[in-house]
């Protein structure tokens, strides 16, 4: 009878991007049944791979902890970093080979997929000439990042390029400029170079930064917002190794007559613009809008800007539909949200006369939300949004609606309160509301609120309704008028100063 021991099998087990629930059924089964579970870690000893696999380990399993001798630090090894790692992989392979020779099956764990930028491959090439190996694929960080952003990575005929961030800037630039969609891995200390390449190829505003995708420490943000200050100064930006930059594909609408997208820019500052708005603006061939709004977007190579006066809404809508029918991808920009006293309605109304022209509306933060945030939560309960402009509707209708809202005890967000040619409406509104509101009702008077931090020209004050001065209100001003329940008090701020805080409780008496 032969006493020869049957050799064990090496299993390269992909664990997915980090969430233990993204481990495949097959991977979980093999982890639990293996005689030996092997995994890597840095010198600190904390293995990410083992942490992901822990729910599937069983009691009594042998574990082989393979500790890298060096990661990013310097080494005194005579062969330098390469020599130190070569010796490590050779020794680690022999440790695993000893188990396989003894007939024990070994599950060698790998984050993501074993054959996708993984350390498993160093073991695979050293062991598969002597032992059988089975690869268990895993969900990659690329798929996890796409899911984290909720954004299609590629569509239709888009070409996807996967790049290591350790490439030279020039090579990154060449490849980014020559592809529809890209994912840049291995960021770590390379992010400054990656950001530079994205900027120089005009793709930074399209890109996402995704950190530790699928884990409870996941972070997603526009790539431009990561390391912006350091990037401007030329300093290196260090981010976690388990992070990536993702540039979605540039597929255009398949509508034969082109398309129109109405994009909200938010109240002003780019920090308050949504990633979706950035993507739509980047994909457009033509941008249409009020001149100062287009200036906020900035010019991009190959795009055509069509600025106009702020009163030319019908002409803008008509031009957008005409260009779309010619096959162009058109973005019509609006400040704030395009569906709130802005361009969405004008474009949709015009589009009825242009069969086949697709119109989409991309929402954004409204001016009311921005102003409310400056003082707290004055719109915390039911409220009405009313424009005081009588250019498109008669004052009698405005007065009727103000009266109805006042009778219903709704807080009010007042858009377009005054302009150079409309100077009396604020006073008329104040007198009308005083018939139903206490004179001490708080009124937020906010001018030029446009960003996460107060900018030039911003002024936010709170006054009594009876003291509202029309002379302090212009077209760049918005008003929020409280209900009978709205509270106003002085809250603590930085230093010794105080600031007004206003909120409307979510509960209502009775």
Q: What is the mean pLDDT of the chain?
A: 90
End-to-end CA distance of the chain: 91
Q: At what angle do helices 120-127 and 80-101 cross, to 10 degrees?
A: 60
> Stretch 26-33: mean pLDDT, rounded?
98
Give the number of residues written for the chain.
Answer: 510
Nearest to 112 by CA among 135, 130, 86, 139: 139
User: Of the spans 2-6, 237-241, 250-254, 464-468, which averages the highest pLDDT?
Assistant: 464-468
DSSP letters for 357-421: -EEEEE----HHHHHHHHHEETTSS-EEEEE---SSS-HHHHHHHHHHHHHTT-EEEEES---SS
Judged by DSSP in three states, 21 sits in helix
Q: Are 217 and 160 in contact (CB under 8 A)?
A: no
How far apart are the C-alpha atoms of 385 and 198, rounded to whole Å? Answer: 41
Q: Is the pLDDT of residue 494 over 80?
A: no
Query: What pLDDT shows up at residue 257?
Result: 56
Q: Which phi and psi (to 5°) does residue 316 adopt?
A: -65, -45
Instruction: Say what the pTM is.
Output: 0.55
Give the C-alpha distances (Å, rounded to integers) separating 83 from 21, 60, 70, 86. Answer: 37, 35, 11, 5
How far apart are the C-alpha atoms of 37 and 56, rounded to whole Å? Answer: 11
> Mind spelling out the 3-state secondary structure of 297-344?
HCCCCCCEEEEECCCCHHHHHHHHHHHHHCCCEEEEEECECCCCCCHH
| Burial zone of 12 (CB within 10 Å; 0-12 exposed, 13-18 middle, 19+ buried) | buried
> Stretch 448-461: mean pLDDT, rounded?
84
Q: 35-39, 68-72, 341-345: lowest mean pLDDT where?
A: 68-72
Owner of token pair 């409280």? 482
Residue 491: pLDDT band with limits 50, 70, 90: low
Query: What pLDDT shows up at residue 230?
Result: 46
Judged by DSSP in three states, 346 sits in helix
Q: Is the pLDDT of residue 383 over 50?
A: yes
Token pair recorded at residue 89: 């992989």
DSSP state of 158: -
Residue 254: pLDDT band with limits 50, 70, 90: very low
Judged by DSSP in three states, 176 sits in helix
Rg value, the chain, Cα: 30
Judged by DSSP in three states, 262 sits in strand
**pLDDT tens-digit map of 77-101:** 888 888 999 999 999 999 999 999 9
Q: Is the pLDDT of residue 68 over 80?
A: yes
Judged by DSSP in three states, 222 sits in strand
Owner of token pair 């209502």? 508
> Stretch 404-408: mean pLDDT, rounded?
97
Token pair recorded at residue 398: 């405005």
Q: Are 401 and 386 in contact (CB under 8 A)?
A: yes
Q: Are 243 and 145 in contact (CB under 8 A)?
A: no
> Mind spelling out the 3-state secondary structure of 83-145?
HHHHHHHHHHHHHHHHHHHCCCCEEEEECECCCCCCCHHHHHHHHCCCCCEEEECCCCHHHHH
**pLDDT tens-digit map of 302-315:** 789 999 887 789 99
Q: Which phi and psi (to 5°) does residue 341 adopt?
A: 50, 45
How far apart are the C-alpha atoms of 429 and 415, rounded to whole Å? Answer: 12
How far apart are the C-alpha atoms of 7 and 10, rounded to whole Å? Answer: 10
Query: What pLDDT shows up at residue 256?
Result: 44
Residue 5: pLDDT band with limits 50, 70, 90: confident
Query: What pLDDT shows up at residue 355?
Result: 86
Query: What pLDDT shows up at residue 276?
Result: 84
**pLDDT tens-digit map of 161-176:** 999 999 999 999 999 9
> Stretch 131-153: mean pLDDT, rounded?
94
> Stretch 436-447: mean pLDDT, rounded?
96
**pLDDT tens-digit map of 100-125:** 999 999 999 999 999 999 989 999 99
How far apart are the C-alpha atoms of 470 and 429, rounded to whole Å? Answer: 10
Q: Are 38 and 20 in contact (CB under 8 A)?
A: no
Q: Are 191 and 239 in contact (CB under 8 A)?
A: yes
CA angle 133, 138, 140 (to 5 degrees): 130
Query: What pLDDT shows up at residue 408?
Result: 97
> Stretch 487-503: mean pLDDT, rounded?
72
Q: 206-220, 369-383, 481-495: lowest mean pLDDT where?
A: 481-495
How far apart are the C-alpha atoms of 38 and 158, rounded to whole Å? Answer: 38
Q: At what angle do helices 313-325 and 343-351 cross, to 10 degrees?
A: 50
Q: Is the pLDDT of residue 495 over 80?
A: no
Nearest to 119 by CA among 218, 23, 14: 14
DSSP state of 270: G
Q: Which phi and psi (to 5°) does residue 126 adopt?
A: -85, -20
**pLDDT tens-digit map of 262-289:** 999 998 877 888 888 888 888 889 999 9
How far apart are the C-alpha atoms of 448 and 461, rounded to whole Å? Answer: 12
Q: Are 262 and 281 in contact (CB under 8 A)?
A: no
């Amino acid at each position: 009878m032969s006493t020869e021991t049957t050799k064990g099998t090496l299993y390269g087990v992909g664990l997915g991007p980090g969430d233990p629930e993204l481990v495949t059924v097959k991977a979980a089964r093999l982890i639990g049944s293996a005689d030996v579970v092997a995994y890597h870690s840095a010198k600190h000893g904390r293995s990410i791979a083992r942490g992901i696999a822990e729910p599937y380990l069983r009691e009594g399993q042998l574990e082989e902890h393979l500790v890298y001798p060096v990661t990013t630090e310097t080494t005194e090894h005579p062969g330098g970093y390469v020599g130190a790692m070569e010796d490590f992989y050779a020794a680690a392979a022999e440790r695993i080979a000893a188990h396989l020779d003894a007939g024990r099956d070994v599950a060698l764990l790998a984050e993501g997929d074993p054959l996708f930028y993984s350390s498993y491959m160093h073991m695979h090439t050293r062991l598969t000439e002597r032992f059988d190996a089975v690869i268990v694929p895993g969900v990659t960080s690329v798929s996890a990042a796409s899911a984290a952003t909720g954004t299609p990575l590629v569509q239709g005929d888009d070409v996807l390029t996967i790049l290591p961030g350790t490439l030279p800037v020039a090579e990154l630039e060449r490849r980014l400029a020559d592809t529809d969609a890209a994912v840049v891995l291995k960021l770590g200390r390379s992010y400054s170079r990656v950001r530079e390449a994205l900027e120089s190829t005009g793709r930074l505003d399209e890109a996402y930064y995704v950190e530790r995708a699928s884990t409870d420490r996941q972070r997603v943000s526009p790539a431009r917002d990561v390391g912006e200050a350091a990037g401007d100064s030329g300093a290196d930006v260090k981010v976690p190794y388990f992070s990536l930059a993702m540039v979605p594909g540039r597929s255009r609408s398949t509508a034969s007559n082109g398309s129109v997208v109405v994009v909200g820019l938010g109240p002003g500052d780019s920090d308050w613009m949504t990633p979706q708005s950035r993507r739509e603006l980047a994909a457009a061939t033509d941008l249409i809008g009020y001149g100062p709004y287009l200036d906020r977007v900035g010019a991009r190579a190959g795009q055509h800007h069509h600025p106009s006066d702020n009163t030319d809404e019908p002409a803008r809508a008509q031009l957008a539909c005409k260009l779309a029918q010619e096959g162009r991808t058109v973005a019509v920009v609006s400040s704030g949200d395009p569906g709130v006293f802005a361009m969405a309605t004008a474009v949709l109304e015009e589009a009825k006369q242009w069969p086949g022209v697709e119109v989409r509306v991309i929402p954004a933060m409204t001016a009311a939300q921005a102003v409310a945030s400056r003082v707290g939560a004055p719109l915390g309960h039911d409220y009405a949004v009313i424009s005081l402009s009588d250019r498109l509707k008669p004052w009698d209708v405005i007065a009727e609606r103000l009266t109805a809202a006042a009778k219903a005890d709704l807080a009010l967000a007042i858009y377009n309160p005054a302009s150079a040619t409309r100077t009396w409406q604020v006073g008329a509104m104040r007198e009308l509301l005083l018939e139903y509101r206490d004179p001490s009702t708080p009124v937020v008077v906010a001018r030029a609120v446009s960003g996460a931090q107060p900018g030039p020209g911003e002024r936010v004050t709170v006054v009594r309704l009876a003291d509202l001065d029309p002379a302090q209100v212009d077209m760049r001003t918005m008003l929020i008028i409280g209900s009978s329940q709205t509270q106003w008090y002085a809250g603590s701020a930085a230093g010794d100063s105080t600031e007004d805080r206003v909120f409307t409780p979510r509960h209502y008496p009775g």
